[in-house]
Amino acid sequence: MYHSTDKLLEKGCQVEQKEKLCRSRGGESCAFDGAMIVLQPIADTAHLVHGPITCCGNSWQGRGTLSRKGTLHRMGFTTDMSELDIIYGSEDKLYRAILKTCETVNPRAIFVYATCVSGLIGEDIEAVCKKAEKNLGIRVIPVNAPGFIGPKNLGNRIAGEVLIDHVIGTTEPATTTPYDINLIGEYNIAGDLWLVEPLLREAGVRVLSRITGDATFHEITYAHRARLNLLVCSRALINVARQMEQKYGIPYVEVSFYGKTETTRALRLIGSCFTDLKDRIEALIARHEANLRLQLKPYSHLRGKRAVLYTGGVKSWSFISALLDLGIQVVAVGTKKSTFEDEEKMREILGEDALLVEDVSASNLKKLMIEHKADILIAGGRNLYLAMKEGFPFVDVNQERHSAYAGYEGLVNFARDISNSLSFFCPPVSTPTVVVSKRNEPKDLLVDPLKHPQSIGAAIALQGIDRTLPVIHSAQGCSFLEKVLITKHFREPIALQSTKLFTEDVVMGAEQRLLEVLKDAVLKHSPDLLGVIGSGLTEVRGEDLQMSLKEFLKEQPDCRVFPISIKEYEGALQEGYAKAVESVLRVIDENRARPGTKTKGQINVLVGPHLTPGDCTELREIIESFGLKPILVPDMAALDGSRTGFSALTSGGTTIQDLDRIPQSEFTLVIGPAMEGPARALQEKYSIEYLVMDSISGIYGTDGLMKTLSILSNTPVPERFLRQRRILVDAMRDAHFFISGRRFCIATERDLALMLSRVITESGGQVKLVVVPVLPERPETIQADQIIEGDLDDIQGEFDLIVSSSHASDRAGQLGVPLYEMGFPVFNRIGYPNRITIGYRGTIDIIQDIANLLYKED
């Protein structure tokens, strides 16, 4: 077994220009982890951990290394040693596990790792591996790096020794060139290697072997035939480079590909080794640096920003260089994971007065950020939640990250992520110009229409009024197709009847048919309310619904029946919904209403069509938490799945008694601009003041709701909502890494588009396009670069996510963009009616759903 000082002391890691002891011990993981970091990226080999579940269970799939050569690096294999294994020994179990691993995944080779427990009890994994190798006919290689022998850095070097002793030099390549190189210590974190290799090919060199990011086992076996080694992380694998130089005569150079300065320096070092490529490389550098200047222009606002940096190894000084390339001042650097040589390089870049800090505890990092007025913390994942909880902009540069930062292109990614984090925590004050595109003339053809008729909006609204029978005065297809679509969306039985007009009714007049249907409905179902919805057919024919219902009331004077006159050839779902609500409010019984008296704490809540049944329940509970008594109109919670039995009438929602109490309310809260018409009608008739809330989602919209309810109730915001707000802030900070800077398209009805645009913008997203069926009166309330009155076919451009109904699934597929389903109709997703989209809780769900979708795409 190796001893820690044997590998920690290395020529080439210099202290006082000779020897260097890599000093990091606490808080940087162990030798086992270090060995896995080096070897596990070899994606066609299995990595079997011999120990209790801890070592494998806590580490597998824990690193951001990527590969196109296999998937075994993402699998976990362990013997899961038990107490009996520890008492009696488990070498036989290990042998069987090796055989089973080979049978299960057919790897090119198997690395077997000792751990603290197996090392402590003296398991001879070398003998077991030798026996298994002879039996299986593939390489089975022991890795003696139990965690207790030293820090991660030691494990890196032990893994390097394993490659030298067991892998490198064991086969020959099919071909060689004079320009073959190896990359040593590059693990392809987040795809870094894939941004570097194209540069190397363009420079005229061939990567013979990758050690070990995106590598195959076979390519490492012939690494000894390269002409040059590029040592990317000298701290980890300096021993490999030195031994290959001594054993095979391969020179090495230490390089970094983080930032423009270091990438250019690395390319020039290659040119100095292959002198006939020097001119070619200089031309490459000129091209890429010129292109880089153009790509970095949008990030000129980063100049003058201040950063605290804490990472390790080559990154500790090369990211200083990258930050300086962007014009960002590095005000402090954490050095706990850095070597003395790293510190020397830091001082070379920053000057002798550079603030290098050994204490990188959370409290001290926070102190550094505040005292030095830093704008952003650049560090590893373990510091992420310090930044998130304290509200510091943050970019992860360690192995858990999701963005590639190597090479010239990587510097652009780095600038983008810094800019996105700064923009999220400190959004720009200026309001961007919105481009609004309205149809000057009606389209001759709608392709994949976003628009739905007013009649379906009216039918939906009436589902939230208890014991109501909506009747569509039309041919039977109208009610049938609308009922099918509404049922698919809500997954509930829908109350909707039709007068089923035929040719004779259209020719001779449909009034008699309407009266017959209404009389039959009263006789069979005894509804509290009858809502008669017009249609394109009856509007064009000129049917007078008001007059027809007067005739009906002569025979049924106690029946509350009301017409909903709509025009199918204008407006859309929102208009029909609002007209239905306004018509419902006209049937308030004046004799029961007592409009001159007010009920303390009672408020009307006019609910817009963009709220789900789950939203209505949430909204009621929020309002009642302030001691207020809300009357929701309509109360779409009737469609939340709580109905029992089947009825031709609507069941649940706003009752007729609720409607009669509306005039006694002290105030009307209007959720969404679409409902201002009904609120204005209440104000004119009953002198009830109202407030239109454009959105009650997002942090600012919900804050506005809480403030309004606090004023109306004269009570403070309850603690549970303050806690929900803190959770939302935390969720937004977590999600902004995936949402900030992403391009969104929203294609929904207006009020939902308004709400979503604000939630996405607050989370750092860029709403590039909003498509609505009808433009709002105030388009500027929607936060987007462009707003179009159009259809799903008008979704054109490059987006990272489309937010629309299930009808947009084909369009999203054509564009190769994921779809987040919201709006009407949603029939490809179970549970949509019960989801919450308002308040702090609903906003948390939305942003986490979106972040997870984008994370999955990444």
Q: Is residue 14 very low, low, confident or very high in pLDDT (cuts 50, 70, 90)?
A: very low
Compute the distance between CA of residue 213 and CA of residue 39 in angstroms, rounded to an integer.
Answer: 9
Compute the distance between CA of residue 203 and CA of residue 451 in angstroms, rounded to an integer.
Answer: 55
Residue 412 in domain: yes
218: domain CATH number?
A: 3.40.50.12380
As for how many domains the chain has, the answer is 5
Half-sphere exposure of 285 (CA within 13 A, CB side): 19
- pLDDT over threshold 60, residue 16: no
Q: Which amino acid is at 355?
A: L
285 and 360 both lie in a single domain: no
377 and 408 both lie in a single domain: yes
Q: What is the pLDDT of residue 3?
A: 45
Query: Which helix (H) or strand (E) covers residue 386, if one does?
Result: helix 384-390
Query: Which helix (H) or strand (E) covers residue 620, if one does?
Result: helix 613-625
- pLDDT over threshold 50, residue 800: yes
Q: What is the pLDDT of residue 551?
A: 86
309 and 283 both lie in a single domain: no
Q: Is the peptide bond before 212 cis (omega within 30 degrees of 0)?
A: yes
CB 604 within 8 A of CB 668: yes
Please state, as a whole number, how many other Cβ atoms lie within 10 Å of the Cβ of residue 564: 27
Compute the distance between CA of residue 117 and CA of residue 104 in angstroms, rounded to an integer.
Answer: 26
Sign of the torsion angle spanned by Cα atoms 800, 802, 807, 811? negative
**Which residue pairs, CB below 8 angstroms and at least 24 apart, start in 385-391?**
386/362, 388/730, 388/733, 388/734, 389/730, 390/366, 391/425, 391/733
Burial group, residue 366, by CB count within 10 angstroms (0-12, 13-18, 19+): middle
Compute the distance between CA of residue 1 and CA of residue 842 in angstroms, rounded to an integer.
Answer: 56
The region of weakest confidence among 209-213, 279-283, 512-516 is 512-516
780 and 805 both lie in a single domain: yes
Alpha carbon 585 to chain centroid, angstroms: 42
Residue 40 in domain: yes
Q: What is the pLDDT of residue 20?
A: 41
Q: Which two tokens stand for residue 554?
A: 């002569």
Compute the distance between CA of residue 64 and CA of residue 24 in angstroms, rounded to an integer.
Answer: 22
Alpha carbon 602 to chain centroid, angstroms: 40
Strands 46-50 and 329-334: unpaired
Q: Is residue 808 very low, low, confident or very high in pLDDT (cuts 50, 70, 90)?
A: very high
* Tens of pLDDT, residues 309-355: 998 777 788 899 999 999 999 999 988 877 777 888 889 889 888 89
Q: Is residue 457 very low, low, confident or very high in pLDDT (cuts 50, 70, 90)?
A: very high
Asked which of 166, 196, 211 is the last residue of a domain, the reply is: 166
Give the three-class secondary structure for 195. helix
**Which residue pairs, CB below 8 angstroms and at least 24 apart, start in 511-514?**
511/543, 511/547, 511/548, 511/551, 514/471, 514/473, 514/545, 514/548, 514/552
* Tens of pLDDT, residues 291-302: 999 999 999 999
Q: What is the mean pLDDT of residues 665-681?
A: 97
Q: Which residue has the tokens 């070597």?
A: 339
Quote the crossing angle between the two packed helices 340-350 and 314-325, to the nearest 10°.
Answer: 10
Q: What is the pLDDT of residue 282?
A: 97
801 and 686 both lie in a single domain: no
Query: Which helix (H) or strand (E) covers residue 308, if one does?
Result: strand 306-310
The region of weakest confidence among 23-37, 256-270, 587-601 is 23-37
Residue 708 in domain: no
- pLDDT over threshold 50, residue 521: yes
Residue 444 in domain: no
Return all residues near 671 (Cβ < 8 A) that are at least 6 apart: 605, 606, 607, 608, 611, 619, 693, 696
Name which residue leads in pLDDT, 559 or 679: 679
- pLDDT over threshold 70, residue 576: yes
Residue 549 in domain: yes
Return all residues near 296 (Cβ < 8 A) that are at least 6 apart: 326, 411, 412, 415
Q: What is the mean pLDDT of residues 634-647?
A: 91
Q: What is the CA radius of gyration of the chain?
A: 34
Q: What is the pLDDT of residue 1?
A: 45
Return all residues near 822 (Cβ < 8 A) that are at least 6 apart: 748, 752, 756, 803, 804, 805, 837
Q: What is the mean pLDDT of residues 390-397?
A: 92
Residue 171 in domain: no
481: domain CATH number?
A: 3.40.50.1980
Domain that holds residue 758: 726-857
Q: What angle do CA 396, 398, 400 make, to 5 degrees?
A: 80
114 and 161 both lie in a single domain: yes
* Tens of pLDDT, residues 94-130: 999 999 999 999 999 999 999 999 999 999 999 999 9
Q: Could you tell me the CA-to-CA distances from 527 to 456, 650, 656 in Å, in that order?
A: 20, 9, 10
Q: Which amino acid is at 108?
A: R
Q: What is the mean pLDDT of residues 365-380?
A: 93
Q: Could you tell me the CA-to-CA distances from 309 to 321, 418, 540 in Å, in that order?
A: 11, 13, 71
150 and 198 both lie in a single domain: no
Nearest to 49 by CA among 86, 82, 79: 79
Residue 701 in domain: no
Q: Is residue 594 very low, low, confident or very high in pLDDT (cuts 50, 70, 90)?
A: low
Compute the distance between CA of residue 280 and CA of residue 261 in angstroms, rounded to an integer.
Answer: 18
Q: What is the mean pLDDT of residues 162-169?
A: 97
- pLDDT over threshold 50, residue 424: yes
Sign of the torsion angle spanned by Cα atoms 413, 417, 422, 427? positive
Q: What is the mean pLDDT of residues 759-783?
A: 94
Compute the distance between CA of residue 761 and CA of residue 739 in angstroms, rounded to an integer.
Answer: 9
Q: What is the pLDDT of residue 593?
A: 61
Please state, as a whole number, how many other Cβ atoms lie within 10 Å of the Cβ of residue 518: 27
Q: What is the pLDDT of residue 4?
A: 44
761 and 678 both lie in a single domain: no
Q: Where are the alpha helices (DSSP H) in 687-794?
A: 698-713, 719-739, 750-762
Asked which of 166, 194, 222 is the last residue of a domain, the reply is: 166
The region of weakest confidence among 7-16, 320-329, 678-687, 728-737 is 7-16
Mean pLDDT highest for which of 63-72, 419-428, 676-685? 676-685
770 and 663 both lie in a single domain: no
Residue 698 in domain: no
618 and 761 both lie in a single domain: no
Q: What is the mean pLDDT of residues 37-52?
A: 95
pTM of the predicted structure, to 2 decimals: 0.84
- pLDDT over threshold 50, residue 620: yes
Return all residues near 147 (Cβ < 8 A) that are at least 6 apart: 30, 31, 32, 33, 55, 115, 116
Q: What is the pLDDT of residue 81?
A: 94
Return all residues near 741 (Cβ < 8 A) that are at least 6 apart: 416, 417, 419, 420, 423, 764, 765, 766
Compute the distance between CA of residue 104 and CA of residue 220 in angstroms, rounded to an integer.
Answer: 24
CB 841 within 8 A of CB 812: no
Q: How many helices and strands in the chain, by DSSP H and E?
A: 34, 27
Q: Which residue has the tokens 């589902």?
A: 463
Q: Is residue 726 very low, low, confident or very high in pLDDT (cuts 50, 70, 90)?
A: very high
- What is the widest separation between alpha-carbon atoms in the chain? 108
793 and 820 both lie in a single domain: yes
Please state, as a whole number, how many other Cβ atoms lie within 10 Å of the Cβ of residue 536: 17
604 and 463 both lie in a single domain: yes
